[in-house]
Chains A and B, each alone.
Chain A
Amino acid sequence: MVDAVAFYVLAALILGFGALVITAKSTVHSVLFLVADFLCVAALYVTLQAQFLAVIQVMVYAGGIVVLYLFVVMLVNLKRPPEVHSDPRRLGRLGVVMSVAVLVELVAIFALGWSKPEVTGGGGLSPKNVEQLGRLLYQDYLIPFEVASVLLLVAMIGAIVLAKREL
């Protein structure tokens, strides 16, 4: 019962803030709604026994990525709003129709065509979530973990090179 109430409240908040993100007039408001959305998703992770992921979500998304977005919004000093100039060849309606088609398709697949897979050898989610994930990351998924660290290094260097005026 409590689960159901928590899920529906969080789902409504996530979808509501998501809708506000893409409809807000001002870009800064959009970024702030994005923070709220990420925090609600983090709360959803807690209800799904993914506590470490919830903390990562708050620190990386709500703390790091969103600050990056805010800085860029401040750096691009908009003398005229970006939505003024509209390309006459733009097919905005078609985009809406396509998005709704994707939604219908996905929901139909999830509600009708998906059979529940067997539970096989997971070993269960323990309350020691951090320890469990740490063991997996440093034992079974060590090489993907190192590749991810190289990806982050490359992205960091790339962002500096792109954003610098002259090298």
Chain B
Amino acid sequence: MITTTHYMVLSAGLFTLGLLGVMTRRNIIIILMSIELMLNAVNINFIAFSYQLQNPIGQVFAVFVIVVAAAEAAVGLGIILAFYRNKETINIDEMSLMRW
């Protein structure tokens, strides 16, 4: 029997993988992809609760999460392109201009 807790543990695992990617990788494109993984983990939680409570509102919120993810990907990749044009790098360790 698969309960909501199973889905929540799966979502926690996927979220942690995304977090690990953000924390350890230096390629900014892979960091953005890790953020997409984390948003997907959130969506799995929404859908699992929508199923458990038999309430479609969770799916509506998942649609909004997808909208925000699409906007974030478009603007984030635009920023990466603009940065790459100026600095010729996508390594976040070299993006330290405003670092204290």
Chain A interfacial positions (CB closer than 8 Å to B): 3-4, 7, 11, 14-15, 18-19, 21-22, 27, 30-31, 34, 37-38, 41, 44-45, 48-50, 52-53, 56-57, 60-61, 64-65, 68-69, 72-73, 75-76, 78-79, 82-87, 90, 92, 95-96, 98-100, 102-103, 106-107, 110-111, 114, 116-117, 119-125, 129, 132-133, 136-137, 141, 144, 148, 151-152, 154-156, 158-163, 165
B80 touches A151 (CB 8 A): no
B residues contacting A by CB (< 8 A) are 1-2, 4-10, 12-21, 23-30, 32-34, 36-37, 40, 43-44, 47-48, 50-57, 59-60, 62-64, 66-75, 77-82, 84-85, 88-91, 93-94, 96
Among candidates A30, A38, A69, A132, residue contacting B56 with C-beta atoms closer than 8 Å: A132
B29 with A102: CB separation less than 8 A: no
Instruction: Specify the main secondary structure of chain A where it touches its partner.
Output: helix
Residues of A within 8 A of B6 (CB): 7, 11
Min distance, Cβ B2 to any Cβ of chain A, angstroms = 5
